[in-house]
Amino acid sequence: MNIMISATKTGGHVFPAVEVGKYFKSNNHNVFFFGSGSEIELKAIDGKNFKYFSQSIKSFRGKGLIGKFSVLFSLPLYVLRSIRIIKKNKIDAFIGFGGFATIPISIASYLCKIPVYTHEQNSVQGSANSLISNFAKINFLGMKTTKEISRSKFVGNPIRKDFVFSLKNETSDFIKIYVTGGSQGAEYLNTTIPMILSKLNKKIQVRHQSGKGNEASVKTLYNNFNIDAEVREFFINPNENIAWSDFVITRCGALSLAEISSMNRGMVMVPLPSSIDNHQLHNAEFYFSCNLGIIHEQKNDNDELISALNKLIKEEVYKTWESNNIIDHHDAVRKIYENILKK
C-alpha cells in the first residue's frame, strides 16, 4: 500500500502521525508524508525513510476578511498540486492528523476517490479535521470528544514506545515532581510554579522543562526559593523524568497527557487558557474523569493550588493515580493500521 499521511506544524499533530507512519513502514508499506515545511516536521521524519512533500499554506483561523479571502482564493491551486502528487505516486489511502495544510491534500484524495481518514488527538475537534471528517470513512479519536463525530472510532493517541509503565524502584524522603510545558515551555509554569512549590510542607526534588531561552531565569527562581531543581530548556528523553517522578505538573496538550498517563503517573493539569476552543481544559477534564489527576486553572488563586498540592502529598493521592491508567495508547497505531487495511 502507498499511504499518504499529513500533519503540520505542532508536535501534537506531527508526532502521532509519524508513529503511524513508522508502523506502516515496518509492515512493508510505502509512506508519503505531506506537511507545511516546518522545522518540527522535518526533524520528526528525519531518518524515517518517508517520502516528504510540503506546501506552505497559511492558516484560515484568526485572519481578517482579506486574509481569509486570500487563503480561499489560493486553495484550488493547492488542491490541484495535491492531485498531481497523489496520481504520480499512486496513493492508495490518506489519513490527516490536523493542521490547516492537511485540507488541500485531503480534498484532493477525496476527488481522486481515495479513502480518507482522520485522527483527532484532542477532546475538541480541530478546524481541519472538522472539515475533513464530513467525507472521511473513519474518524479515529484519541480521547472522548465534547461533540459526537459521525463515523468515529476511539483508538487512543499514538505515542512512542518509550512511554511505558515503569515501577519506581527506589524509596525517598523527597517528593519528586516533573514540571513541563511541552517542547516550547510555558510562561505560567516557569514564573509561578517555583514559588508555589516553595510553599509545600514536604521536601521536594524537581525537574523542570523550561522551553527555549528560559533555563537561566527559571533556575534562578528555584535557587532563590532554595529548591533542589534540575532545569533544562528541553529534555531529550522526557520519559525518564516521568518515570522518575511521583507526579507531573503539566500543560494539557493531548499528546503530553497520553504520554504521562501511559507511564501510570498522575498529573496536576494546568490548561493553557488561550488554547483554541479551550481544548486543553476539555482534555484535562477527560483525564480528571478517569481519576488520573487534578485540574488547576490559571485564573484561580495560587493559594488554591498550594492547598491542593499539600493535600495530595499528605494523603498520598498521587499513589492512587498510578493504578488508574485505563487507556492503551500504545495500541492506537495497530488499531489505525488494521482499520485502514480493512477498507
pLDDT digit string (tens) for 206-223?
A: 999 998 889 999 999 999
> In this structure, are residues 91 and 138 in contact, taking their beta carbons and an 8 Å threshold?
no
Sheet with 152-154, edge to edge strand ranges: 51-54, 30-35, 2-6, 93-96, 116-120, 138-141, 152-154
Q: Where are the domains of the chain?
A: 2-156+329-342, 175-321
pTM value surpassing 0.95: no
Q: Which of 157-166, 210-219, 245-254 has the lowest mean pLDDT?
A: 157-166
> Would you say residue 48 has pLDDT above 80?
yes
Q: Rounded to whole angstroms, how far apart are CA atoms 287 and 307?
A: 21
* From 15-24, 187-196, 321-330, the region with the lowest mean pLDDT: 321-330
In sequence order, which residues have a C-beta less than 8 Å from that of residue 272 and are 6 or more positions away?
Answer: 186, 251, 252, 280
Tell whether the model's pLDDT for residue 65 goes beyond 80.
no
With contact defined as beta carbons under 8 Å apart, do 152 and 130 qualify?
no
Do residues 217 and 247 make contact, with C-beta atoms less than 8 angstroms apart?
Answer: no
Task: For residues 159 and 255, give the distance between their C-alpha atoms in angstroms, rounded to a whole number.
Answer: 7
Please state, in angstroms and rounded to a whole number, the distance separating the CA atoms of residues 223 and 239. Answer: 25
End-to-end CA distance of the chain: 12
pLDDT tens for residues 301-333?
999 999 999 999 999 999 988 777 667 898 999
CATH class, 2-156+329-342 region: alpha beta
DSSP 264: T
Burial 157-171 (b: 16+ CB within 10 A, else e): bbbbeebeeeeeeee
Q: Is the pLDDT of residue 46 over 80?
A: yes
Q: 2 with 341: CB under 8 angstroms?
A: no
Give all strands (DSSP E) within 142-242, no chain letters: 152-154, 175-180, 204-209, 228-232
Q: Do domains 2-156+329-342 and 175-321 have the same CATH topology?
A: yes
- How far is the C-alpha of 287 from the C-alpha of 240, rounded, in Å? 22
Superfamily of domain 175-321: Glycogen Phosphorylase B; (3.40.50.2000)
